[in-house]
């Protein structure tokens, strides 16, 4: 049987690393592209990339996706059957300080990807969006069919714009596209700007942690292994307007759908911190602050469609996932 090829953008990132690894283990040839940007510590990205390049079926180009022609060349050379687009400038708070970074990576980068796919159509494309796309919505849990026009950060706005761009290409050129909105992903090898990373680092260093909105927040925390398993399974169910499933978000005019990937149950921020304290074996010193600009009070994923499509829902308990993270952190940083 001919080996299948997948293109993973952002392959040296947190989610990109685990996604590439899962595909390699499943027998795919994986072509990656990653800019190794300095948004957070580059050695962490380089270590992830080094572990991937130890596999014979993995190759990578270190460049930005918005560089004209680079993605087109990758598509033309490798003719990927599947594309998982994870490269992006992430972070709600950073988008307030550096919005142009989001314009370049998230919008121009997505345009270059869609143009390359137009020239060399893959069988299925999975593009990362975010739960932040739901913005000021207060109806919980968030369903893919909910109206989502009130984004509260420029980061979220660029992701919602990517969804609209992708739908237009799916309609015009018949590209099967699944947008997945993921919910607060955590786990080993994560981004150092993420809450579980910041809390763990401070607690183990004996430093205070910042608790926003005075702890009155909820998040649908999703363990990295659950997210990746869901994404890989979704590759086998490209959207087809002629064959919708129950509760589908599929477009009536294009092979396009949006799928939530989340735990399906929000956790209180203070319970999340408590689980990290337990995993670290010590209590945090807490300072309480008001809500930050661009943030939202709660997120909660309706995972009915995900289950209807792949028969799975994320299952890792928060305490288990955070213990795995803290154990990794202690080993990686020698704490």
Facing residues of 288 across strands? 211
Contact 266, 302 (CB under 8 A): no
Q: Report the candidate in 146, 155, 71 with the shortest Cα–Cα distance to residue 106.
A: 155
Q: How far apart are CA 181 and CA 151, in angstroms?
A: 14
Distance, C-alpha 124 to centroid of its chain: 17
Contact 131, 260 (CB under 8 A): yes
Q: How far apart are CA 251 and CA 69, in angstroms?
A: 29
Beta-strand (E) ranges in the chain? Answer: 5-9, 29-33, 58-61, 82-85, 124-130, 177-182, 185-186, 209-212, 218-219, 222-223, 256-261, 267-268, 286-289
Q: Is 40 a catalytic residue?
A: no
- What's the distance, Cα to Cα, between the start and end of the chain in Å? 47
Distance, C-alpha 274 to centroid of its chain: 25
Q: How far apart are CA 257 and CA 38, in angstroms?
A: 33
Q: Report the candidate in 268, 136, 130 with the shortest Cα–Cα distance to residue 195.
A: 268
Contact 305, 248 (CB under 8 A): yes
Q: Report the candidate in 128, 158, 150 with the shortest Cα–Cα distance to residue 296.
A: 150
Residue partners of 56: CB distance under 8 A and separation at least 6: none
Task: Exactly one of 39, 134, 142, 155 is catalytic; name it.
Answer: 155
Residues annotated catalytic, as ranges: 155
């Amino acid at each position: 049987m001919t080996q299948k090829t997948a293109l993973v953008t952002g392959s040296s990132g947190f989610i990109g690393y685990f996604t590439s690894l899962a595909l390699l283990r499943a027998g795919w040839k994986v072509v990656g592209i990653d800019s190794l940007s300095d948004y957070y510590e580059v050695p962490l990205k380089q270590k992830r990339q080094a572990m991937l390049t130890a596999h014979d079926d993995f190759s990578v180009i270190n460049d930005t996706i918005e560089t004209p022609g680079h993605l087109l060349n990758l598509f033309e050379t490798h003719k990927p059957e599947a594309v998982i687009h994870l490269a992006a400038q992430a972070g709600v708070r950073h988008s307030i300080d550096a919005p142009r970074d989001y314009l370049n990576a998230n919008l121009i980068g997505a345009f270059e990807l869609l143009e390359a796919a137009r020239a060399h159509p893959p069988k299925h494309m999975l593009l990362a969006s975010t739960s932040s796309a739901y913005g000021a919505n207060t109806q919980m849990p968030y369903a893919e069919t909910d109206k989502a026009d009130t984004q509260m950060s420029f980061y979220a706005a660029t992701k919602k714009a990517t969804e609209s761009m992708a739908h237009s290409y799916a309609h015009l050129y018949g590209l099967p596209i699944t947008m997945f909105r993921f919910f607060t992903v955590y786990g080993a090898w994560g981004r150092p700007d993420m809450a579980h990373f910041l809390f763990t680092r401070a607690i183990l260093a004996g430093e205070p942690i910042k608790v926003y909105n005075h702890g009155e927040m909820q998040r649908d925390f999703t363990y990295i292994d659950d997210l990746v398993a869901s994404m890989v399974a979704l590759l086998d169910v490209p959207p087809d307007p002629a064959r919708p499933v129950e509760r589908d978000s599929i477009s009536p005019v294009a092979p396009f759908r949006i799928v939530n990937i989340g735990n399906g149950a929000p956790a209180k921020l203070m319970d999340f911190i408590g689980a990290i304290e337990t995993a670290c074996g010590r209590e945090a010193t807490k300072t309480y602050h008001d809500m930050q600009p661009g943030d939202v009070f709660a997120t909660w994923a309706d995972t009915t469609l995900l289950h209807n499509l792949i028969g799975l829902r994320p299952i890792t308990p928060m305490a288990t996932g955070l213990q795995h993270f803290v154990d990794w952190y202690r080993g990686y940083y020698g704490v």
